[in-house]
Amino acid sequence: MNITFEELRRIKHALPTGSIARIAQDLNIDEQTVRNYFGAHNYEEGQIVEWHLEPGPNGGIVHLEDTTILERAQQILSESDEASSN
């Protein structure tokens, strides 16, 4: 899947507090791995996430090999939107 780096960061910043920990727990992975997925560069902790950045507008285009973390983040955003509209 391809997404702009700017959009990937927008999704991360839109997540409610505690979402990084929630995603990590739900997927049984390290929190730093989730942060790395959204563009952090702390490779001393967590896993290096498989994505490739091509230069371009909006921070460039990120090619994501595995969209599981992104899909879980989007589910959390949907839940948050539903809760705020009730």
pLDDT tens readout for residues 41-72: 655 655 556 677 888 888 899 999 899 999 99
pTM for this entry: 0.84
pLDDT tens readout for residues 16-34: 999 999 999 999 999 988 9
> Which residues, 6 or more positions from 30, have their beta carbon under 8 angstroms from its beta carbon?
24, 45, 46, 47
> Which residues, 6 or more positions from 68, have their beta carbon under 8 angstroms from its beta carbon?
27
Domain ranges of the chain: 2-85
